[in-house]
Structure 1
Amino acid sequence: MDRAMYQIQVLQVAVLFGCISAVITSPCSQANLNSDLSSCLSSIVTSSKDKNLFWFGTQYFIRCPNPWASLDCFNYHPYRADSLISRVFGPGYSLNETLVTKYLNVTFETGTGTYSGCGNEWTVTESRRLELDPTLATVYKPWSVRKRPTMTWEANQSELYTIIVYDAGSLINHGLIINIPGNDVNSAEIFKDYHGPMKSTPTPNVYSFLLFKQSGRIQLSEEWRKLLADSMAQYNMTDAVEYLNLTGPVGMNWMRVTMDPYAMQNMINIRLLYTCPYLISQAVGNHNRTFIPRDPKLTVGVDVTFSPTALTFTSCCTKYSKPSRTFKLNPLGDASVDSWDVRSDATPVPDFMALGFYNQMKNFTGKTFTLLCVDPDVPRSTAGTQERPLLHWMVVNIPEGRVAEGYTAQSYRGPRPPDAAHYYYFLLYEQTDTVNTSETGNYTTPPNSRFLFDISSFVSDNSLRLVGVNWFVAEPDEYTRYTSAASGGNVTSLCAGQPNFDTPCPISGSTKWQLTLTQIFILNLLCIFLFGI
């Protein structure tokens, strides 16, 4: 790693943890802007020409030796290393550094709100102010920068300016504001209003804010109106600057933006991309489970739907009635479920979606899968351990994602945690060959049971690759106590501390009174018969 990149990363850590000292400061901090603007502008120019700084630079060839291997490697220019300047203006462009004389302040107000994304509701309760600093490696999320920012710079009100907001990675026009009098954006012609990034893959992308000085008022031809209105920027940026007769850029700023559920859901809504497995990968990679890699590269979304029927049962002397309903697991939100909703007879229905372009989301042509459900939190080592979990479900040789056509080696069994909250994982593996169904029972102890499932050997022996994960959390509740008692468990122990529990179960006051009257009536008859009274 070169010295400049190291300093940027150190500075980023300092910013994130609020530990910036007098020694390590941004050259574009407010104090430095007031005292040494030239150092800030020089740093911006240097960074804009650095081919090692952004994902489309020299690091791209290391990270993506095959440009088509993943969605996160997609690159319009996969065989050249770009700086920000060469990416925006072309590899032959030479930046006139002497023109960069203004610092373009870009400030976002994040706002608050709630949005849906990848099956979960996300709520932002605190609004923040974000001031972009291009000399820092701070990474933002699309939700935070979705609204048009405040953009200011030092200018004479008799001058006219243009701002172009440009996605340097995907070559998309994110905003064009022309005929700005001085720095009064509100009085300008907003030809194409700012629209925020919809970054839905992990590697941070770069969105640039470019300030140009106009030679006079711009009047667009019909041809250029059509070209500039196209978000996909079907034109050469150098040609656009020349046509508009712009000088500059005279100021630059940019931001790095990575994925979030807000952008992912927007890509789903417009039927362009499906990338939710990236979020699942990030979340489950922190679970510290032996059968899940620390940095999983999941490529399939696994939706799991339950439709339990209505249920009435008595547990620990209390009668419960549960309604029927249909719901999907929500591992990214509150993964907790009630055990009666995921009981054994509420057979789960999985649905698979491939990471990538939306129109290919259901394309599993030629692929075969194995689906497992395991509980690694079993308290008894004779039933399961972290390394050899309890097996709750196994379906192998699933053709092209159609679970109903696979071979069910073990039927689904609902949770019955006896001690505390347990995690139950649905694990989807892609097969390289047909799994021998006569051998699936050999991976439990004893064979053909659910206990001590040797998941590591099963995956290794069958050359399986983990491609999708879902999960829920269940804990002891009235239904698990009911099923445990029905299976011969010690009712007194299971129900200890539960309200209304007694041995035997108490009866209602009215029933008690009716029984007492009956007993009195019988006693009276006995007295009459025996003593004639």
Structure 2
Amino acid sequence: MGIPYNSTVFPNLAGHLFQGGASVGLQRIKSLIEKKCSPNIREFLCRVYLPECSPSGKPVIPSWEMCQEAHDGCSSMMSSLGFKWESSLNCSKFEAGTIDRIKEIANDKSAFWFGTGVKSLCSKERPTFACKMNRFPSQTDSIISRFGGSIDISGVDRLMKIQYTYENGTVNACKNDFSLPGGSLEVDPLSPTVNHGWQLRNLPAMKWTAAPSDYFTLVLYDIGFTYLHALYVNIPGNNITKADEVHQYRGPGNPTDVANPYVYLLYKQHGHLQLTDPLRQSLNKKPLETLHNESNFYDLKSISWVRVSADPFSIGRLEKEHQVNNCPLLVSEALQHQDRPFLPHNFNLNMSVDVTYSPSAITFTSCCKTYAYRETSLELNPIGNMTVKTAHVRSSIMPSVTLTKQDPYFRANKFSDDELYSLIMVDPDVPIFYKVASNSHPLIHWMVINIPRGNVNDGVTVREYRGPQPSSGVHTYYFLLYLQSSRISPSVISNYTTSCTRCLFDINCFTTDHGLKLTGATWFRAEYDEYVRHQRVDESGKDEAAECAKEPQYPQSCSGVSIPHIIG
């Protein structure tokens, strides 16, 4: 079965004393694994029949949620094979163990990003966005300690079944549309699986053990970044649709790439609660303190959580609400798919580099055809791998660059006086036989150093902007933003190029020697087109017949009157 561990323990949960019996039991229902009737069926059966040993020597048992998912997906198939869902696989037997394990993890200061790993995660060398959002940077927390003593889990005695169903759809984030799939998931606090905001955007179906006469309060809380996401009181039994809504459900929307827990808390009430305006306000402002101190509530009866990291849905939602700029995360993911030797092996961009061109109208002749480009404006879209016309980004059209930090928007444009940046635009796709660039030593198209306060116009331009002029095929032009460790002398740039001051730029040596850290990027693609031919013939004196040889209707088009081709 390809089990990825080599130590187990007997007797197992199926009652087998030795491995032989366990193997026979597994063999009977091997087809369940082969048919993949449930996503976790293999892991579930292995934990029942051949459990892995934990570091403490105890078997790693399946959770109640894992068992329920396996049962729901596979019990009918087992019946069709002539077997019943065995008593050894009864999910109720895993409930007590699951509750105990949930309590252990809730108190474990190494279980989540804000625990013992927070120091390395938030090191000065490469702090993640989550560190900027952390309201308690000096603390090392478990889930329980992060609540500040406002909850007590000693009375937890039941599990919640939390089921999400989500449809496929399209969301917009950072100027791009993303198609996201549909599906369903069941929350399992013991699972390391990381989910996303798109999956959790709607109120889930929930069940727990309760008498019809019981009343409950449910809280959903972002414990990592300390935000309330839902609060319902007077839930009769386990029917949340009949509850009084204090804080409408807002699905988890973690904007960071760190797996962050969102915690579900279930309180049993003394009875039906009179929801006065003062109590409603108190629950909204200080939900956990109020629940802890309010005499109408019993101890906490159930706790669960789901791990969530950023996705286009959560990034786009917070962008639209003008709360947080996390477009650098999506740009990072797009850039990591590009195999370029001048990119660091591990990088996390934390700046948006927004480049806008506003080209004026232009008319020119290329291969005896007249082209008329209208005035326009275009913003680069690196995630969409944007292709532009070279006339729109020509040398006479200076790009406008705006730098925005990966931060809440109220401070995303704030820069300290000692922050300096370098912006370098390069083309690594020039054919090597031209001897002006290579994949590792690109051609410089623009270079500005010592940029203060995030204002590119106030930096020192050491290589003036030069528009693309790809000689053949498609070239990618990168704008790379680096955080400087100190001021750079303009005179040193020539040490990293040939006598041609833009050619074969040793970008890796330059960034290493000066301690530069890649913090932002954008790019566009351009190809050999009519404006490039115009430049090469009319401005550089290249042979027109050679440049236009592959153009349709050339040279016949030179004999008549050219009707302008309108572009833009």
TM-score by length of 1: 0.82
Query: Is 1:276 aligned with 2:324?
Result: no
String of CA shifts for 1:33-55, please: whole Å, max 9, x gaps: 74534244344333333322111
String of CA shifts for 1:233-290, please: whole Å, max 9, x gaps: x3644x5144153334333331111123443344445454333323333332342322
Query: Is 1:287 aligned with 2:349?
Result: no
Matched with 1:228 is 283
Query: Is 1:164 aligned with 2:219?
Result: yes
Query: Is 1:36 aligned with 2:93?
Result: yes
3-state SS of paired residue (2:491) = coil
1:152-231 alignment to 2 at 5 Å?
A: 152-230=207-285
Aligned in 2, Cα 1:33/1:44: closer, same or farther, shift over 3 Å?
Answer: farther
Aligned in 2, Cα 1:100/1:412: closer, same or farther, shift over 3 Å?
Answer: same
Matched with 2:134 is 75
Aligned in 2, Cα 1:64/1:441: closer, same or farther, shift over 3 Å?
Answer: closer
Query: Is 1:23 aligned with 2:23?
Result: no
Query: Is 1:50 aligned with 2:108?
Result: yes
Which residue identity lines up with residue 480 of structure 1 in the other structure?
V
Offset, 1:305: 0.5
CA distance in 1, matches of 2:456, 2:562: 53
1:143-154 alignment to 2 at 5 Å?
A: 143-154=198-209
Matched with 1:100 is 157
Matched with 1:459 is 511
Moved more, 53-62 or 106-115: 106-115
CA distance in 2, matches of 1:88, 1:434: 44
3-state SS of paired residue (1:254) = strand
CA distance in 2, matches of 1:376, 1:458: 16
Which residue identity lines up with residue 51 of structure 1 in the other structure?
K
CA distance in 2, matches of 1:299, 1:273: 12
Matched with 1:111 is 167
String of CA shifts for 1:46-74, please: whole Å, max 9, x gaps: 33333221112222233235799664224
Which residue identity lines up with residue 232 of structure 2 in the other structure?
I
Q: Which has the larger radius of gyration?
A: 1
CA distance in 2, matches of 1:57, 1:16: 33
CA distance in 1, matches of 2:369, 2:328: 42
Query: Is 1:85 aligned with 2:136?
Result: no
CA distance in 2, matches of 1:509, 1:402: 48
Match for 1:410 among 448, 463, 466? 463
Query: Is 1:349 aligned with 2:396?
Result: no
Matched with 1:436 is 489
Aligned in 2, Cα 1:323/1:20: closer, same or farther, shift over 3 Å?
Answer: farther
Matched with 1:427 is 480
Aligned in 2, Cα 1:269/1:503: closer, same or farther, shift over 3 Å?
Answer: closer
Match for 2:431 among 379, 403, 419? 379
Match for 2:120 among 58, 62, 77? 62
Which residue identity lines up with residue 252 of structure 1 in the other structure?
I
Percent of counterpart pairs with the same letter? 34
Is the 1:409–1:441 Cα contact (8 Å) retained in structure 2? no
3-state SS of paired residue (2:218) = strand
Query: Is 1:470 aligned with 2:525?
Result: no
3-state SS of paired residue (1:424) = strand
Which residue identity lines up with residue 415 of structure 1 in the other structure?
P
Aligned in 2, Cα 1:505/1:282: closer, same or farther, shift over 3 Å?
Answer: same
Segments of 5+ residues of structure 1 without an aligned counterpart are 8-13, 512-533
Aligned in 2, Cα 1:314/1:149: closer, same or farther, shift over 3 Å?
Answer: farther
Is the 1:288–1:294 Cα contact (8 Å) retained in structure 2? no
Aligned in 2, Cα 1:56/1:510: closer, same or farther, shift over 3 Å?
Answer: closer
Offset, 1:184: 1.7
Moved more, 189-198 or 40-49: 40-49
Is the 2:152–2:299 Cα contact (8 Å) retained in structure 1? no
3-state SS of paired residue (1:23) = helix
Aligned in 2, Cα 1:398/1:447: closer, same or farther, shift over 3 Å?
Answer: same
Is the 1:106–1:253 Cα contact (8 Å) retained in structure 2? no
Which residue identity lines up with residue 153 of structure 2 in the other structure?
L
Is the 1:114–1:121 Cα contact (8 Å) retained in structure 2? no
Query: Is 1:243 aligned with 2:290?
Result: no
Which residue identity lines up with residue 387 of structure 1 in the other structure?
S
CA distance in 2, matches of 1:200, 1:15: 33
* Root mean square deviation of aligned Cα: 3.4
Match for 2:446 among 390, 393, 401? 393
Which residue identity lines up with residue 253 of structure 2 in the other structure?
M
String of CA shifts for 1:218-243, please: whole Å, max 9, x gaps: 1234433212123xxx3644x51441
Which residue identity lines up with residue 99 of structure 2 in the other structure?
L
